[in-house]
Amino acid sequence: MGALLTRWRAWVWVLPAVALLLVFVYYPIVDNLRLSFFSWNAFSPEPRFVGVDNYTEMFTDPVFWRALLNNVAYAVVSLVFQAGLSLVLAALLEELVGKRLRGLLRTLYFIPAAMSITVAGVLFSFLYNPRYGLVNEALQAVGLGHLARAWLGEESSAIWSVIAMSQWQSVGYTAVLFVVAMQRIPREYYEAAKVDGSGAVRTFFSITLPMVREMTTLIVILTISGAFLVFNEVMVMTAGGPDNSSQVLGTWLYRKAFFEDDMGYAASVATVIFVITFAIAAGQLALSRRRRYDS
């Protein structure tokens, strides 16, 4: 009995963490699922069971599909830039740039990621300003004035403008992650390639790319799940407008819950986000586990 007690005393160490996780991370997820089957708002604190009504309403709501589609667009563009362009940038940094300048550029590229997304969002809403914004000014300066527009104020461009800002903030960040992964590649591989007379491009495909595969997978996963969780930049720059054209699941949830006071519907949107991101994350875990056993 005494021995048992001693063993349980070790729980003192993990108790605060476990308690916080259970109460503030796990309980809300479970509660959200429950709430999505109820109808309630701030004025009727007693939730009323409505079965799958919230889900039916959501799945027949064009705004929901619009939001989901915007998330998909976010994911696709982010993949091209944060997995594609940043990989190219990292490889170029490693191949062309001397050590000192490389450190400088790496630091510089990372700076937007060290700023808060709100700062970046507000800054870009100035740059996108239809009358005084730098974007339109620049277009006019190079004779493309006909392309100038109210970037955040038009349905056709709002979400794309937000996505573009997001790339500006994140490409440098993932490029730095790739650089770190590339620096772990043993130098002998490159020497061998040189001896074989392999050019820079071929070396990239035959050595660099395979050697950073793990980091690439990881960045792909993080980018996709990040795209389905996006909230801040959309909220700051367009709040989902104009006319819901730039809604994403996160902002739609927020609007439904805290502006239209339709908590049950909002909870069902949250469930959809949960299912998508959990599936992605679980897939990644399974993948990395398997790889660990393989090696």
Partner 1 sequence: MIALDSGVDRRTTAKHRPRATVSFRSVVGRVLGWTLLGAFAVAVLYPVLWMVLSGFKDNQEVFNQPWGLPGELRWENYARAWDLGVVRYFTNSVIVTSASIVATTLISAWAAYGLCRLKLPFGNGVALLVLGGLLLSPTVALIPLFRLLTAIGLFDTYWALIVLYTAFRIPFTIFLIRAYMIELPRSVDEAATIDGASRAQIFWRVILPMSRPILVSAALLQALFAWNEFAFALVFVSDESLKTLPVGLVSMQSRLLTDWPVVLAGLTIAALPTILLFLIGQRQFLRGLTEGVGK
**Least distance from partner 1 to the Cβ atom of residue 167, Å:** 10
C-alpha distances in angstroms, 43 versus 46, 82, 200? 9, 44, 66
Name which of 156 and 216 has its Cβ closer to partner 1. 216
> What sign results for the dihedral spanned by CA atoms 212, 216, 222, 227?
positive
Name which of 45 and 62 has its Cβ closer to partner 1. 45
Name which of 159 and 181 has its Cβ closer to partner 1. 181
**Least distance from partner 1 to the Cβ atom of residue 278, Å:** 6
The helix/strand/coil state of 72 is helix
**Least distance from partner 1 to the Cβ atom of residue 87, Å:** 12
Name which of 76 and 134 has its Cβ closer to partner 1. 134
**Torsion on CA atoms 94, 99, 102, 104, rounded to nearest 10:** 170
Name which of 57 and 94 has its Cβ closer to partner 1. 94
**Least distance from partner 1 to the Cβ atom of residue 112, Å:** 6
**Least distance from partner 1 to the Cβ atom of residue 121, Å:** 8
Q: For residue 46, give the H/E element and its range.
A: strand 44-49
Name which of 156 and 162 has its Cβ closer to partner 1. 162
**Least distance from partner 1 to the Cβ atom of residue 86, Å:** 9
> How many whole angstroms from its chain centre is CA 55?
25
Could you tell me which residues come within 8 angstroms of residue 3 by beta carbon, excluding any fewer than 6 positions away?
Answer: none
**Least distance from partner 1 to the Cβ atom of residue 260, Å:** 13
> How many whole angstroms from its chain centre is CA 288?
20
Instruction: Say if strands 38-41 and 44-49 run parallel, antiparallel, or are unpaired.
Output: antiparallel
Q: 252: closest CA among 265, 33, 121?
A: 265
Name which of 102 and 149 has its Cβ closer to partner 1. 102
**Torsion on CA atoms 126, 131, 133, 135, rounded to nearest 10:** 130
**Least distance from partner 1 to the Cβ atom of residue 54, Å:** 12
* CA gap 41, 37 in Å, rounded: 13
Name which of 49 and 156 has its Cβ closer to partner 1. 49
Structure tokens at 119: 């700062």
Q: Is 17 exposed, middle or buried (0-12, 13-18, 19+ CB in 10 A)?
A: exposed
